[in-house]
A and B are shown apart, each in its own frame.
Chain A
Amino acid sequence: MALNVLDLEKPIAELDKNIAALKTVSEEEGVDRSVEIAELESQRDNLISQIFANLSAWDKTLIARHPSRPYTLDYIRAIFDDFIELHGDRLFADDKAIVGGFASLSGRPVMIVGHQKGRDLKERQYRNFGSAKPEGYRKALRLMKMAEKLGIPIISFIDTPAADCSFGSEERGISEAIARNMYEMSMLTVPVVVVVIGEGGSGGAIGLAVGNRILMLEHSVYSVIPPESCAAIIWRDPTKGPQAAECLKITAQHALENGLIDEIIPEPLGGAHRNYDAAAASLKAAVIRNLEELSELSAEDYAKDRYAKFRNMGIFGTEPQE
């Protein structure tokens, strides 16, 4: 855990350590230190509130990429019952960077698709760091079309740095796969709720993100380009990611301000990674509420609603023409 502490979290981790030590001492010595512990805890929570009230876009980026942050399968375990994972695109392979399958959400069947990152080095490689290949997008599309056929809603979890750009992905048409998903998702006749849980990384994200509702966790980010790449282009200096993150305005708060997402899902104090259960509960409530609201639409309205939603995305002016 100590290895996974961000610089901005260090003062918090320090207090966490003191609290833990005090708890150990109190247990070992059988002395009641609860007053002291409570005081330290409230001190820590105040500190977290302070730090988290002033997060920069780059801080948010780091939290969104936090190695302890809950990933798609963590949310699936916490929120849904009877997850039945389905594999493969029926064309080439099973991409481990995207998971999907049936699950039950408060007794209702749903189809889940989502990017999956890995926790340790081995698992990260196994999941290709959450960077999906064409077969991942095609697997997701297969599952979404199945959901459409069966008339069950789709929930899509977004958490990827970018789509895979290996030679193999290029050979098998990564561009086509992403494009095809957006094309087909726009026409689905079932409700689609998209939740950005961590990193919404450009084309890799949008290939799973054409939904009726787009929700973002409080400390997730969504961007057209990784801030480091943007910095490399503008300033020829990839270390200026923090400045680029600010320019790109990649936070959930800015996305909401610009009308590009529908809702921000609050995270527990200090970020989702500090309390998986609370984060999952918050996410679950938001997804259920959005699905309930959407259930008032008819099958053909889902596609119309999605079309209108994305058709309206664009910020431009109009000059009169002669």
Chain B
Amino acid sequence: MAPDGWFRRKGNAAGKAARKHLDALPDGLWTKCPKCGEILFSKELEKNLKVCSKCSYHFKLGAVERLAIMVDEGSFVETDAGLVTINHLSFPDYESKLAKGCANSGLNDGMVSGTASIGGHSVVICVADFGFMGGSMGSVYGEKISRAFERGIETGSPVIIVNTSGGARMQEGLVSLMQMAKTSAAAAKFGRTGLMYISILTDPTMAGVHASFAMLADIIIAEPGALIGFAGQRVAAQAQVIKPPQGFQLAEFQLEHGMVDMVLPRRDMKDTLAKILAMGARR
């Protein structure tokens, strides 16, 4: 992952932070796999796209890391980076949460959008970052998604969205709920153009994002082991007397139930996307 070269920004405040974020990786020489407990050499883990070499656990990726392994080098140009959050409800501690999210992710919101190419195919791409307030969707997030679909229509490009989110952002109240309708309507408008929309569900993709644009794609791809669902595990368990079925809400469960097209290991993502984009290219 080269810290420079592939990542160009129109506004560079967030860019600097993003580069700093990359320089800081890996944090230590060794990283412990949260699933199997294996102690992994961080450089090796990095080289392996942050997938555990022993159990194939897919570590979470920040938006910047994700772009680095998904798009053609140097092709990403960020758009709508100037959209900023307003605490319009004066919701307690929202500002400090935003500041923390910014420090965690090097971004000014949990969604990065732009244009790029994948295997030579131009795309509009959006990538969520769980490090920013759990990838929750507020006004900025919903606006970026909606503009991405509209940009796709204007430029005749397919849209790819890489999702990870805990759901709608409660700190913005009802307007966050409305982002579900807004982004779904934008997906519908895009859906009439004959262009392809690909949604990638990574760990975790839940609630308001899962129940809106994330499930409205032509092709839905999940990463192995990703938690994907409507209600959080705790909420779902509270509502039930019985235990959840084996592997409940995991990517493989969603595949089994017909909710995603495929579960794809991270190392195959870019090549597979390029092949799918070739199939969907307008002739």
Using a CB–CB cutoff of 8 Å, the interface residues on chain A facing chain B are 163, 165-167, 169-176, 178-180, 182-184, 186-187, 202-203, 205-207, 209-210, 222-225, 229-230, 233-234, 247-250, 254-255, 258, 260, 306-307, 310-311, 313-322
A-B contact list, 21 entries, CB within 8 Å: A163-B230, A167-B244, A170-B231, A175-B229, A179-B213, A182-B184, A182-B185, A183-B184, A183-B185, A184-B188, A186-B188, A206-B181, A223-B177, A224-B170, A224-B176, A225-B170, A248-B170, A248-B174, A260-B178, A306-B185, A311-B146
Once A180-B216, A233-B170 are accepted as A-B contacts, the answer to whether A206 and B177 lie under 8 Å apart by CB is yes
Once A163-B230, A167-B244, A222-B174 are accepted as A-B contacts, the answer to whether A248 and B89 lie under 8 Å apart by CB is yes
**Do the beta carbons of A209 and B207 come within 8 Å of each other?**
no
**Do the beta carbons of B215 and A176 come within 8 Å of each other?**
yes
Once A173-B259, A210-B185 are accepted as A-B contacts, the answer to whether A319 and B82 lie under 8 Å apart by CB is yes
Question: Chain B: how many interface residues by the 8 Å CB criterion?
Answer: 65
Partner of A313, one of B92, B182, B208, B213: B182
Q: Kindly state whether residue B159 has any CB partner on chain A within 8 Å.
A: no
**Do the beta carbons of B142 and A314 come within 8 Å of each other?**
yes
Chain B residue contacts of A175, Cβ below 8 A: 210-211, 214-215, 229-230, 259
Separation of A179 and B254 alpha carbons in the complex (Å): 16
Q: Shortest Cβ distance from B208 into chain A, in angstroms?
A: 6
User: Which residue of A is nearest B89, CB measured?
Assistant: A249
**Do the beta carbons of B184 and A179 come within 8 Å of each other?**
yes
Chain B residue contacts of A205, Cβ below 8 A: 177
Knowing that A203-B207, A314-B179 touch, tell me 20 more A-B residue pairs with CB under 8 angstroms: A171-B245, A171-B257, A175-B259, A176-B211, A178-B230, A182-B180, A183-B188, A183-B216, A203-B180, A206-B180, A224-B173, A229-B235, A233-B170, A234-B92, A248-B91, A248-B173, A310-B182, A314-B143, A316-B140, A321-B10
**Do the beta carbons of A170 and B236 come within 8 Å of each other?**
yes
Q: Kindly state whether residue B202 has any CB partner on chain A within 8 Å.
A: no
Partner of A223, one of B10, B174, B181, B230: B174
Q: 8 tightest A-B contacts by CB?
A: A165-B231, A186-B185, A182-B184, A175-B211, A321-B11, A314-B139, A224-B177, A313-B178
Q: B140-167, CB under 8 A of A: which get 1 and which 0?
A: 1011001000000000000000000000
Partner of A224, one of B10, B168, B188, B236: B168
Chain A residue contacts of B85, Cβ below 8 A: 316-317
Separation of A225 and B232 alpha carbons in the complex (Å): 13
Main secondary structure on chain A at its contact with chain B? Answer: helix
**Do the beta carbons of A315 and B139 come within 8 Å of each other?**
yes
Q: Shortest Cβ distance from B228 into chain A, in angstroms?
A: 8
Separation of A108 and B121 alpha carbons in the complex (Å): 52
Using a CB–CB cutoff of 8 Å, the interface residues on chain B facing chain A are 10-12, 81-86, 88-89, 91-93, 139-140, 142-143, 146, 168-170, 172-182, 184-189, 191-192, 207-208, 210-216, 229-231, 235-236, 239-240, 242, 244-245, 248-249, 257-259
User: Which residue of A is nearest B232, CB measured?
Assistant: A165
Separation of A278 and B146 alpha carbons in the complex (Å): 41
Separation of A45 and B236 alpha carbons in the complex (Å): 44
**Do the beta carbons of B181 and A310 come within 8 Å of each other?**
yes
Separation of A157 and B104 alpha carbons in the complex (Å): 42
Partner of B173, one of A186, A223, A306, A322: A223
**Do the beta carbons of A318 and B83 come within 8 Å of each other?**
yes
Q: Shortest Cβ distance from A198 into chain B, in angstroms?
A: 16
**Considering residues B92, B192, B212, which has the most beta carbons from chain A within 10 angstroms of its beta carbon?**
B212
